[in-house]
Amino acid sequence: MPRKSKTPLDLERLRQDIVFEDDLMGHHFVFHTTWGLFSPKGIDEGTRLLLRHMVVHPDDRTIDLGCGYGPIGMAIARSAPRGEVLMVDKDFVAVEYANANLARNGIANAKAILSDGLRHVPARRFTLAATNLPAKTSKEHYYLFFHDIHERLESGGRFYVVVISGLRRFIERAFREVFGNHTKVKQGANYTVALAEKQ
């Protein structure tokens, strides 16, 4: 018996934005996402753990690496009303949705741009960097990220990452190599939040 194909109505529904609301760092947000972006149906466990344990100062100048549709950068921007957030992603669809979500939520002190890591980021310094590190990439790629972040942070700047707990020992070694320090902020069931500071 031949398989029944999806009807045009089903396809039209799949092309519509996925919409949900959530509270992050004490702020309420409405998110629009789409299939193909990371964790499109809701805030993932790692991002939630990171935002629960990251310290944000009201005037932080932040870079959010691999912003996706924007939850980390948006939460930081709301928590740093005198600061600013630059959100970057190498996926143009993610950048498009992140900027739309910023506008939708009335966040004026942040913007998203297309960049491969920091390669296309204008020359500037940051006091805070944050990222939900992808699990499926090479350690060489991580090192590029870490060295580029170290170069762009001001003295005393902080770099928070959340990563699957299986990589926590590697993150500790890499942070000590690149930054000279490492703090395990929080280890959950599946993810670990780590912090490095530029000295």
Q: What is the pLDDT of residues 76-113, one digit of tens each?
A: 999 999 999 999 999 999 999 999 999 999 999 999 99
- Give me the pLDDT at residue 14, please: 82
- Specify the pLDDT at position 83: 98
Question: In this model, does residue 7 exceed pLDDT 60?
Answer: no
Distances 29 to 123, 127, 167, 179 between C-alpha atoms, Å: 30, 24, 30, 34
Global pTM value: 0.92
* DSSP state, residue 9: H
Separation CA 80–CA 160 (nearest Å)? 16
DSSP alpha helices (H): ranges in the chain?
Answer: 8-15, 45-53, 71-79, 92-104, 139-152, 168-178
CATH number of the 44-197 domain = 3.40.50.150
Cα–Cα distance measured from residue 80 to residue 177, given in angstroms and rounded to the nearest whole number: 30
Stretch (H or E) spanning 84: strand 84-89
pLDDT for residue 47: 97
pLDDT at residue 115 is higher than 90 = yes
Instruction: Please give the pLDDT value at position 1.
Output: 56
Hey, where are the domains in the chain?
A: 44-197
For residue 171, give Cα distances in angstroms to 1, 20, 162, 182.
52, 32, 10, 8
pLDDT tens, position by position, 120-143: 899 899 999 999 988 777 888 899
pLDDT in tens, 146-174: 999 999 999 999 999 999 999 999 999 99
Would you tell me the crossing angle of helices 139-152 and 168-178 to the nearest 10 degrees? 40
What b/e string do you get for 144-159 counting C-beta neighbours within 10 Å, with b at 16 or more?
Answer: ebbebbbebbeeebbb
Output the pLDDT for position 143: 93
Q: In what order do the strands lie in the sheet with 191-197?
A: 110-114, 84-89, 61-65, 126-132, 153-164, 191-197, 183-187
Cβ contact 105:74 at 8 Å? yes
Mean pLDDT for the chain?
A: 93
What is the pLDDT averaged over residues 179-199?
Answer: 97
* DSSP single-letter state for residue 135: S
For residue 4, what pLDDT is reported? 57
Question: What proportion of the chain, given as a percentage, has pLDDT over 70?
Answer: 95
Report how far apart, in Å, the C-alpha atoms of 78 and of each of 27, 32, 93, 117 are.
7, 18, 23, 23
**Nearest-CA neighbor of 90 among 48, 143, 29, 131?**
131
Contact 174, 143 (CB under 8 A): yes
